[in-house]
Structure 1
């Protein structure tokens, strides 16, 4: 007896839906900063929103020559798989730069990553289990909150003031919450631009050693200092040596499109990060690593960074000079010694998200501070980046912002 025919419509109606997404994929929201950047891509918008390096300052010719050299020396090697840890030339270059900044480092201490964001993801995979407590500054880097949220961590904010996290409050939280790690951006922090003083860094290192705590020190902005004295890395302080993972990046001093970062960590933690990276992408792009290594060998990077610093210093000063006229009377803001951001706070009864809507109508943008907070946000705060536009464009943007804030 022939089998009954099944029509396509019958087959479709009988199909079961696919299984649900993992809870972490639905519990962690997208980045409001990225969504604002999409709104600011239309021509004519002056944006203080993105933490983007100035593209006209990229050393395109030097980088093109470095890629040419990578292919000329050995195209076969440049286009081949590589080791997970990274090509030796680039690891050695990173180690030399770290040592020159006062932190003795060997090539074997370094893992090359696809941007420092990946380094944070690898460390989170290696250290954090669902329910673990992770301490952060408040406010803090938005993508770090996403990373810890995806891992199922319970994120707890450390009280901060104008100079950064407060060591006494940190000690109380560590004793009470028994966290797995502290994530911090102690130099020119994102989003606030503030820098943790030397004495507080030493106190944090001692608390970590005494209480048993991993430290993740994220330093994407440390090369961008415009005034003041250099501050030693947290990783260089006594007590932090065997428990600090230091994250660095070439995005701000070479080009973010390279997607090159690095991780310096104690051997056992670095090995765990290597295994996590093997599961993620095997290794970072070989040709990009070799080009970066050739670039660092052939170019005066410190001279290039000095040029970038000079341009950004002028842009920071232009922003600071115009804020009094651009923001509502009674607003407050800081004066960062480096980095890419100024942090501001509107007076009582104002909301930065409301101001942003008006600002976009006047073709100017910034980022409200609320998304950067853990727990209850301060709706009056906002982050302004000064690196992407010239001083003249910044002045024009502030004029637009002043008009947007008029009743």
Structure 2
């Protein structure tokens, strides 16, 4: 199977290959071995086959794909020559990535190209709803004098905020007490704390392919071994996560069940319960990232992840959330919901990271959570308008690009008509646009070279300008591309 770093079944690979040759059995002017090798390469680059997976035995794939064994043998040889496969003595042939492809994994922030003229599509977070922010700030300022007598550092978070978050979980159908809540400086801080507390070098972490890049960076930082479970066009492949948990028994599984970042897929409650049960059987921790749960555009906001598994022993299920997507990216308040004992251990461990979240920000968060949700509906209306404008512009400028319309979340996961994500991201910088290329979202360096993430968190006119700049970057060589060309000539 392709979901884990194990073996890929011949029948499953034959199904994934799709229509790689014509009805007459030919490969449209190419040799069959070349077409087969190119198709397997594309599946690896798209992240649909993980790196390090053992390919089927030659005879088994020959039977499943209805080609000669000689064709399969030659295709595997081409994969090895191009760096997309390696052979291990007595063990078989495994998928791989060539060094030049792995070098395409880039991320981080680019201060050198920032400025008023630059459009930032790297951050999929909403702009400030100014009237609501101002109202919450006034409320926080009124409450501030009453807080001056408490300790400056609150490793668990402000009591009033922990209560507000717990009450919100209760209102959404999941009984929660304040001692199950740890307030953090955004959801990323919660993920980082979990990684530092629960993981040790060499521990396996099961992640989606693709997934949230900053979470992947967190797990890499503690030297965990990332194991991607590829998503397909419909989201989570039935049984894939459960099978991976059962086979690998990872220390931690990390999933984004609601409007998954970057694909926008929504996990149904039955799948959530199945995933939680599989994690319990495997003895694994499960961290569900609900950062974008409230960004529901075409469906009602999902119930909390843990609601579906209340009948299951959920002591190993952790849930993180944040104000950054549903309210404003500049409000760096997040939280983690989990067993009280884990909350206590995380609070004790956070001293090496920070000593607590800013008091004023926490008071602002209380005001927002205790207020009505009319602001959220207004935000959703804006996001729908921005999403529609982005889709129209992409369809107009890039008719060969494809995407699935997400039911929620703040971005499109776009499949381009050729593998150029890393190069396009570099060239876009020279035209005043910052964007993440597909490989940034892969656990395996160099995958998803045919994909880019396009957020629709900015005003419609800004999104149109950004896409026109990307079109120009794609059509006209920029300084980065010219430098690359000069380097090739020197070489």
TM-score, L = length of structure 1: 0.84
Equivalent residue in structure 2 for 1:277, among 333, 350, 355: 350
Deviations 1:17-61 (A, max 9, x none): xxxxxxxxxxxx9x944335x365223233333223213556231
How far apart in 2 are the matches of 1:270 and 1:71?
26
Whether the aligned pair in 1 keeps the contact of 2:119 and 2:432 (CA below 8 Å) is yes
Counterpart for residue 307 of structure 1? 378
Deviations 1:134-174 (A, max 9, x none): 00001111111111111121111112113333342223322
Q: Does 1:113 align with 2:184?
A: yes
The residue number in structure 1 matching 2:63 is none
Q: Distance in 2 between matches of 1:378 and 1:32?
A: 12
Counterpart residue number, 1:21: none
Q: Where does residue 220 of structure 1 map in the other structure? A: 291
Counterpart pick for 1:345 among 415, 421, 443? 415
Contact 1:139 1:372 in 2 (8 A): yes
Name the CA distance, whole Å, in 2 between partners of 1:151 and 1:219. Answer: 23
Unaligned regions of 5+ residues in structure 1, if any? 1-28
Aligned counterparts, 1:324-403, within 5 A: 324-327=395-398, 329-348=399-418, 350-375=419-444, 376-388=446-458, 390-403=459-472
Secondary structure of the 1:35 match is: coil
Instruction: Show the counterpart of 2:247.
Output: 176
2:115 alignment counterpart: 42
> 1:247 Cα deviation (Å)?
0.2
Query: What is the DSSP-based 3-state SS (H/G/I as helix, E as strand, rest coil) of the residue aligned with 2:286?
Result: strand
Matched residue SS, 1:216: strand
Residue 129 of structure 1 deviates from its aligned partner by 1.1
Secondary structure class of the residue paired with 1:321 = helix
Q: Is the 8 A contact 1:164 1:186 kept in 2?
A: no
Q: Distance in 1 between matches of 2:367 and 2:304?
A: 27
Query: Which of 48, 64, 88 is matched with 2:137 structurally?
Result: 64
1:53 and 2:126 aligned: yes
Cα distance in 1 between the residues matched to 2:217 and 2:199: 13
- Could you tell me how far apart the structure 2 residues matched to 1:232 and 1:154 are? 31
- When residues 58 and 373 of structure 1 are mapped into structure 2, their CA distance, relative to the original with a 3 A threshold, is farther
- Once the two structures are TM-superposed, the CA of residue 72 in structure 1 deviates from its matched residue by 3.6
User: Could you give the per-residue CA deviations for residues 172-199 of structure 1, whole angstroms, max 9, x where no partner exists?
Assistant: 3223322011001111222222222333
Distance change >3 Å, CA 67–CA 109, structure 1 → 2: same
- Residue in 2 aligned with 1:127? 198
Q: Determine if the alignment matches structure 1 residue 236 to structure 2 residue 279.
A: no
Question: Matches of 2:447 and 2:253 in 1, distance apart?
Answer: 20
Note closer, same or farther for the CA distance 1:243–1:163 as it changes in structure 2 (3 Å cut).
farther
Question: SS of the residue aligned with 2:330?
Answer: helix
> How large is the RMSD of aligned CA atoms in angstroms?
2.3
1:343–1:57: structure 2 CA closer, same or farther, 3 Å change rule? farther
Question: Structure 1 residues 311, 240: CA separation in 2 closer, same or farther (over 3 Å shift)?
Answer: farther
Pair 1:317-2:391 in alignment: no
CA distance in 1, matches of 2:397, 2:288: 34
User: Matches of 1:221 and 1:167 in 2, distance apart?
Assistant: 23
Equivalent residue number for residue 90 of structure 2: none
The residue aligned with 1:200 is 271
Shift of 1:308: 1.1
Matching of residues 158-177 of structure 1 within 5 Å: 158-177=229-248
Match of 1:188 among 238, 246, 259: 259
Relative to structure 1, is the Cα distance of residues 231 and 293 closer, same or farther in structure 2, using a 3 angstrom cutoff?
closer
Deviation at 1:127, TM superposition (A): 1.1
- Cα distance in 2 for partners of 1:188, 1:66 equals 32
User: Could you tell me how far apart the structure 2 residues matched to 1:290 and 1:200 are?
Assistant: 36
**Alignment TM-score, normalising by the size of structure 2:** 0.70
Q: 1:135 is paired with a residue of what secondary structure?
A: strand
Determine helix, strand or coil for the equivalent of 1:225: coil
CA contact (8 A) 1:45 1:363 kept: yes
Name the CA distance, whole Å, in 2 between partners of 1:72 and 1:191. Answer: 42
